[in-house]
Amino acid sequence: MSSICAKRTLGNSPRTPTRVNYLFPILACLLWGANTIVTKLASGSVGPIDIGFFRWLVAAVVLLPFALPRLRENLPTVRANLGRFLVLGCLGGVMYQCLAYYAAHFTSATNMGVIQALIPLIALALSRVFMGHPVRGTSILGAVISTVGVVAVVSQGDLARLAAQGLNRGDAIMLIGALAFAAYNVLMQRWKIPLSVLESLFLQATAASLILLPVQLLIGTGVNNLTAVGCIGFAAVCASILAPLTWMTGLSRLGAARVSGFFNLVPIVTAALAVLLLGESLSGWVLVGGVLAVSGVVFAEYSARRAVALLNNGTVGR
> Of 242, 196, 193, whose CA–CA distance to 86 is shortest?
193
Each residue's pLDDT tens digit, 109-151: 666 777 777 787 788 788 878 777 776 777 788 878 888 887 8
Alpha-carbon distance values, 25 to 100, 143, 261, 262 (Å): 20, 16, 9, 6
| 223 phi/psi in degrees, rounded to 5 | -115, 120
Q: Residue 74 carries which DSSP code? A: T
Cβ contact 33:238 at 8 Å: no
Give residue 1's pLDDT: 32
Give residue 132's pLDDT: 74
Helix axes 169-191, 96-103, angle to 10 degrees: 170
- Indicate the burial class of 9 (C-beta count within 10 angstroms; 0-12, 13-18, 19 or more): buried
Tell me what the pLDDT averaged over the chain comes to: 79
User: b/e string for 137-163 if b means 16 or more Cβ within 10 A?
Assistant: ebbeebbebbbbbbbbbbbebeeeebe
User: Range with the lowest mean pLDDT among 47-51, 195-199, 207-211, 280-284?
Assistant: 280-284
User: What is the distance of C-alpha 143 from the center of its chain?
Assistant: 15
> What pTM was estimated for this model as a whole?
0.76
Each residue's pLDDT tens digit, 272-292: 787 788 776 777 777 788 788
Alpha carbons 105 and 71: distance in angstroms, whole number: 39
Alpha carbons 195 and 288: distance in angstroms, whole number: 41
Give residue 103's pLDDT: 77
Alpha-carbon distance values, 153 to 72, 122, 139, 289, 301 (Å): 47, 20, 21, 5, 22
Mean pLDDT of the 9-21 span: 54
Each residue's pLDDT tens digit, 212-270: 999 999 988 888 888 888 888 998 999 889 998 898 888 888 877 677 778 778 877 87
Give residue 61's pLDDT: 95
Give residue 12's pLDDT: 41
Each residue's pLDDT tens digit, 73-114: 899 999 999 999 999 999 988 998 888 877 777 776 666 777
How many helices (H) and strands (E) the chain has is answered by 17, 0
Residue 69 CB: number of other CB atoms within 10 A?
9
Binned at pLDDT 50, 70 and 90, residue 9 comes out as very low
| 59 phi/psi in degrees, rounded to 5 | -60, -45
